[in-house]
Structure 1
Amino acid sequence: MPADEAPSGESWSLSPDSRRPLPELIEQKLREQIIGGTLKAGDRLPTEPELARKLDVARSSLRTALQRLQLQGIVEVRRGLGWYVRRTDLTAVEENLEGRLAARRFSPTDLLEVRIALETTAASLAAVRADDGELDELAKLNRRYERASADDVQEVVEADEEFHSALVRASHNELLVQMYQALVPGLQDCKRHAQPSTGVHNRSANEHDQVVWFLRRHDEVGAKSAMTTHLLGLYDDLATDSSEPRATMSTYVGVSDTPIWNRSR
């Protein structure tokens, strides 16, 4: 059945799970529609406004979910035509990198180490490329993060991810943005399970401010170093695999501004 003729109403209702970000719930629903046969390979999805109406969500959240499915090779966008189902064999999808990321098949330590590589590079690029509007938006997003109650884990996680995603977008490197977005679901799981304390929350807000301070001065070395300090602190809080060498703050001994990986004691 073509997507535009798919049943409306209950079949498009999202699972009521306030602990999970909305794009994850949308992604899950679209997967269910594919697995259940409502959407078949080659079908055109409803337009974004129509699909947002069916799901009762904002288009920004819908687009994030579609982009995640695109990364996994499940849907594709055809210029001037819209979104199409690319494949329905989701078991095979989970064997590729994007599918394994979506299925949370990497450890928190693996995800955090890759995040350090990607986001410190993004910070240095943003110092060179971000415009005043993007920098003002980063400061605004960090104020939202500061105001979030440490007791409201979901609000803290969402506000934090908005800040970091905006910083990566400010790098103006589309491949880097796509790679980072593939990590987001797993990173959010790490943060939700960690139950950050008020002290960690306040420290992170201050470190976000430091990153923005260097970005406004177009200091790529300072921005990268500030982001490295921030992410290594989170890595120490959230990484769970104690059998592997760990990054330490010996980063700043000498001339290196990249993490030094030392054997865990």
Structure 2
Amino acid sequence: MTGEALAPLRARYAHWLGLDSEQVLADRDEAAEDIRAMQLLLRMERDAPPSWHRALAMAASGAAALCLDPRAEPGGEWHEAIADYCGGHIRKVTRRGRGAQWEATADLPGLSFADAGTEVRALLPGRVAELDKRVSKLQVGGTDAPVDVDPAPEVGPPTPELRVWINPHHPMTLGKTMAQAGHAGMIAAALLATDPPALQAWIDAGLPARARLLHPDAWDTLVARLADPGEAWRSEKLLAVRDAGFTEVPPGTVTVAAHAPARGA
């Protein structure tokens, strides 16, 4: 099965959504030496700010692509790192880099993405305590950019894409929102792995994603449909990301909802 390393995440998904806020607090704790995270790097040159929409789309696509890469399959050089990461909390940290510091991360294990001047790297997850110095020196703070004009969709026949909807009730920095979009991409890949034709169609299309900040009323309607996560997935390919609340939002906040591409979409 493509995406085999994602199996622990798939098994944990509905359980995590069912926890109340106190249970989220209790569940999120890990020994410092056991904490693993995927680092998302955002290029932020002083004279060339990134696109909010494009950065989120690449975070979602990039996290999924890293976990679905052939090197992440059993026997591949990335499999152990991805499987160990998916066996725990799927923490993500967004860092910003520019100039020589950005270029220094180019050969680290992971994938790089670029779209119309916006650049993102999704690095192979590992223990935070063992973080490469080229990454640890990149700042976590200041990873913000204004919501820009939504890029027009490409003209042509529709392709399978992950549609990522952002919670408008809890404003987040771009870096925080990228982490949440990355979670959505991983969860979508994990759940779609049980429907190989749908997953393969998304892979063949290049794992595209599009991000939107929803109107509050539209968000409330969407989240109400997630009351039963299993049914929401089975009937609509609708999924949610629920945050542990370490930064910016309260524990248990649903930060992102997403529609995964269905079979034949």
Taking structure 1 as the reference length, the TM-score comes to 0.28
Q: Which has the higher strand share?
A: 2
Taking structure 2 as the reference length, the TM-score comes to 0.28
**RCO greater where, 1 or 2, for CA within 8 Å and sep 6 or more?**
2
